[in-house]
Structure 1
């Protein structure tokens, strides 16, 4: 149906297509204040950078109902402490976190089967207490440092077997 005569109809505007902007003669330089010129900074407390790390929190919620918690332990603390370990594992492979990373982290600390012994539960209860609170970042980073990267790079089946045999060999200090 044709438009009435009083309706503006500029067909020249509708026939236009995208045109890229003119070429910039000067090269792009990393000269803004937040640019990392020397590369990713490394050091104590800076963690291990990796892509899409926030997704680990969503994945961790899938394990919440399966966690082996003793009286006095909270799922929030277990998740907050183990997410950092899972992120360290994912970043060591240069990828975003997946469910296996969280499974490994929870299993190493005895939050997933095989059932942990009483000494591990007493030890982790003290270590994980309050870690979910934002003021306990240093304690959460300490938990990440307890699991060496060589352990995190093991296949999940080997970690499960090591947990059944002697879980303390997977941690640097206990």
Structure 2
């Protein structure tokens, strides 16, 4: 890179040029035992991969106070189920989760409605109960996520708000 004009230069200095380092390290190789050497695996019960999925946990905790629970419902169950739906939506777009993924997932199940329909609450209790303990309910969690139609994943939060609570069955696939 050239020096600015106001920089003093000693006319007796020799110009510097690039020289290679004495040692050239060997190129990196993917030879770790647990490294995936092919594309990310896909299939039943493998979930939906995406970048920085842990950020959804922080976003969900920020929305915990907005969840409207009915008798017999748990905020942990609601968050666990909604997180999985939100992560599916985020991975659908090939990006990290954002707040809109969570508001859509909470919205389609009516978790932020002050007075949700009784049939929606009954279906929620049936599907979400126990999901907070993911180690024992992974299959149920996957079924919940896979139930939501692809068309819902492509909707905006405004479209979800205008469709709720009347069209919750179509939005959730339940």
The Cα of 1:150 is off from its aligned counterpart by 2.2
Which runs of no fewer than 5 residues in structure 1 stay unpaired? 1-18
Which runs of no fewer than 5 residues in structure 2 stay unpaired? 1-19
| In structure 2, C-alpha distance between the alignment counterparts of 1:21 and 1:97, rounded to whole Å | 45
Is the contact between residue 92 and residue 149 of structure 1 (CA under 8 Å) also seen in structure 2? no
The 1:21/1:101 distance shift into structure 2, 3 A limit, reads farther
Q: Choose 46-55 or 111-120, whichever is displaced more.
A: 111-120
Q: Normalising to structure 1: TM-score of the pair?
A: 0.81
Match of 1:163 in 2: 164
Question: Is 2:135 the partner of 1:122?
Answer: no
Bigger fraction of residues in helix: 1
Superimposed CA distance per residue, residues 82-130 of structure 1 (whole angstroms, 9 cap, x where no aligned partner) = 0000111111111111111111000111102374210010111111111
Is the contact between residue 114 and residue 164 of structure 1 (CA under 8 Å) also seen in structure 2? no
Match of 2:149 in 1: 148
Aligned length: 154
Q: Normalising to structure 2: TM-score of the pair?
A: 0.81
Please identify runs of 4+ aligned residues in structure 1 that moved more than 6 A: none
How well do the aligned residues superpose, as a CA RMSD in angstroms? 1.9
